[in-house]
Amino acid sequence: MGTTNVNKNKLVLKVDSAGTLLTPTNAELNQAADNSDKVAAGSTTANLANWGVSTLGSTGATFTLTAPVAGVEKELLATSTSVQNVDSGSTTVTFNGTTGIRLVLNNSNEGVALRGLSTTRWFIVSNTNSVAVSTGA
């Protein structure tokens, strides 16, 4: 049967195959407790939290995304028509299994939803209005 996930108010409750409730991680608890947006507007080199929502509105900015945590969700939304770059932060952290890459948001109303699969792997859950994936700088 494996692990079953039940979403309730952003907290993912995990149950093993025997039906035992697994203890959530600190990152999962923090995500559930804080529903406010993590806004990166105005900065050009900010580190972004690995959970919650970041709105990116700086001109020609490059952000670094903190390493993922398994099961934790992250959304990146562009609010500027200028290019917004989001780097994985490490050559060992991947987006959909590809190392050393960058997400490029070129226009306002572009966005990407991510889910951590491990401490080194992001999964792209959805990609709105063609957020580009590149090899980086």
User: So where are the chain's domains?
Assistant: 1-35, 36-134
Q: What is the pLDDT of residue 33?
A: 46
Can you give the pLDDT at residue 117?
94
- Reference 112, options 100, 99, 129; nearest CA is 129
- List the one residue out of 89, 80, 136 whose CA is nearest residue 110: 80
Whole-number Å distance between alpha carbons of 35 and 92: 29
CB 56 within 8 A of CB 78: yes
Given this model, what pLDDT does residue 28 score? 58
Question: Could you tell me which of 77, 76, 117 has the C-alpha nearest to residue 93?
Answer: 117
Residues of the chain with pLDDT below 50 are 1-9, 32-42
Instruction: Give the per-residue pLDDT at 68.
Output: 93
Q: Which residues fall within 8 angstroms of residue 39, CB to CB, at 6 or more apart?
A: 54, 55
Residue 86 and residue 48 in contact, taking contact as beta carbons nearer than 8 Å: yes
pLDDT of residue 38: 47
pTM: 0.67
How far separated are the first and last CA of the chain, in Å rounded?
43
CATH class of segment(s) 36-134: mainly beta
Separation CA 10–CA 29 (nearest Å): 9
35, 92 contact by CB (below 8 A): no
